[in-house]
Structure 1
Amino acid sequence: MRVMVLVKATDHSERGEFPEPWTTEMMTAMGRFNDELRQAGILLMAGGLKPSSQGKRIAFDGTDRAVINGPFTATRELVAGFWLWDVKDMDEAVAWVKRCPNPMPGPSEIEIRPLYATADFQRQ
């Protein structure tokens, strides 16, 4: 089962603020965690996202397209980083996230979402 693990943005991440020594300590701890994921054979990809002020959205309405420049509101709904994992089930994904260092200075959230597989679209 493939899952996308989403690190939710915070006010700090949207401002691009990562205070020292937290940054060094978090990067070291996250590096160790990513090494564990690799050694377990579940890490497919990982990355951090720059603040939404550097992003764009494309709004679709029929054949029309509109470009919306960031920053975007509702910080708690934005994503600051992600992993793509291949796990046996959602329970395994939850267990791994519980082992993750806190990715933000202060309270934060990580969301786990399963990816669709081809079998999900096949008629029975």
Structure 2
Amino acid sequence: MNLLILAAITIAELFLIVLVLFFFRRLRKSEQVMLAMQNNQDELMERMVRNANLEQELVATFMQRQAELERLNVAMEERIFMLKKLLKQAEEISHSPYLLREVIMNSRKKGMNTDMIAHKTGLAKDEIELILKKENLL
């Protein structure tokens, strides 16, 4: 009977040793999984930092582009103002009686008829004939 009890205890001890080995094996696998997760977490953090840096660079370049566009807009507005001013001056000059008279006389000397000169200057045919008569070119 002692032998039977001793055998039962030995079997129980062997079973406990197998359970402890199984537990340590599972513990080692869990540690490996934890290390892999920790490495993945570190990689994820590095990616997040890189993405944040890229986002900051994009925002900075966007702000630079925005400032450049604002500067260009101001320059364009100034150029539009100057061009409108020049256009107004050109219109005033083109409607100058002296200039129109010169255009009419030069056109007549080049052999253009009254209809062609009227079309070119935008004046009425009667006005052109009156100017040509005054200059003795009709």
Q: Comparing both structures, which one devotes a greater share of its residues to helix?
A: 2
Check whether TM > 0.5: no
Give me the TM-score of the superposition, normalised by structure 2: 0.17
Q: Comparing both structures, which one devotes a greater share of its residues to strand?
A: 1
- Higher relative contact order at CA 8 Å, sep ≥6: structure 1 or structure 2? 1
Larger Rg, first or second structure (1 or 2): 2
Give me the TM-score of the superposition, normalised by structure 1: 0.18
